[in-house]
Chain A
Amino acid sequence: EDKVVQSPLSLVVHEGDTVTLNCSYEVTNFRSLLWYKQEKKAPTFLFMLTSSGIEKKSGRLSSILDKKELFSILNITATQTGDSAIYLCAVGPSPGNAGKSTFGDGTTLTVKP
């Protein structure tokens, strides 16, 4: 059974801090790793990672994948209160498991002014 574990479960920081969120996985037929941000309502897509060592970047957010050690990290620099959200990591569907993404329990990030 596929498994995705995120850490920490929750994190409280102050504006301007840098945070690192972790995601480890155990899956068969790995194809992609996905990061989502969930504020009050629906998760919204952030990054898709398929190759080791290639950083994806969007503004103050960046993410990287290590397929050898089976983990990914999401970095947020110069955090703002608007970064407060649940960050979800998921392993995307694979050819042998079409349609099934497996999600971690999420990291709840709170950024205080």
Chain B
Amino acid sequence: NAGVTQTPKFQVLKTGQSMTLQCAQDMNHNSMYWYRQDPGMGLRLIYYSASEGTTDKGEVPNGYNVSRLNKREFSLRLESAAPSQTSVYFCASSLGPGGPEAFFGQGTRLTVV
């Protein structure tokens, strides 16, 4: 039972490069989320998908796009990476929009130079 799996675990990008963070959950959860965590700060919601086929902006969506590929998978894309996007990214899932507790992946540490 893997739970929530994120790839990659680490990534270094040059400014302007693009990349996609992958996330998959095997708990048959309906809702999935992408958060970023900066030093000394809590989790800030980037985008979420309340159910398959829907996506919505969170608190800090600028510079990101998402795709809810199917019920299991929710990817986050950085089209043109900027140093301000250096952060640790967490994918999470919950049973439903009223889950409420979320189960988190192990995180992706992204550095943009």
Complex-state Cα separation, A101 to B107, whole angstroms: 18
B41: Cβ under 8 A from any A Cβ? yes
A25: Cβ under 8 A from any B Cβ? no
Complex-state Cα separation, A4 to B59, whole angstroms: 14
Distance in angstroms from B95 CB to nearest chain A CB is: 11
Complex-state Cα separation, A49 to B35, whole angstroms: 22
Distance in angstroms from A79 CB to nearest chain B CB is: 22
Binary CB contact string for chain B from 44 to 65 against chain A (1 if under 8 A, 0 otherwise): 1100111000001011000000
A interface majority secondary structure:
loop
Shortest 8 CB-CB contacts between residues of A and residues of B:
A98-B97, A92-B100, A103-B42, A42-B104, A99-B48, A103-B43, A99-B50, A45-B101
Distance in angstroms from B60 CB to nearest chain A CB is: 12
Apart from A90-B43, A93-B99, list 18 A-B contacts with CB within 8 A.
A9-B40, A31-B100, A34-B100, A42-B4, A42-B106, A43-B43, A45-B102, A45-B103, A88-B42, A92-B98, A93-B98, A94-B98, A98-B98, A99-B97, A102-B45, A105-B40, A105-B41, A106-B42
Complex-state Cα separation, A48 to B100, whole angstroms: 8
Q: Is the CB of A101 within 8 A of B90?
A: no
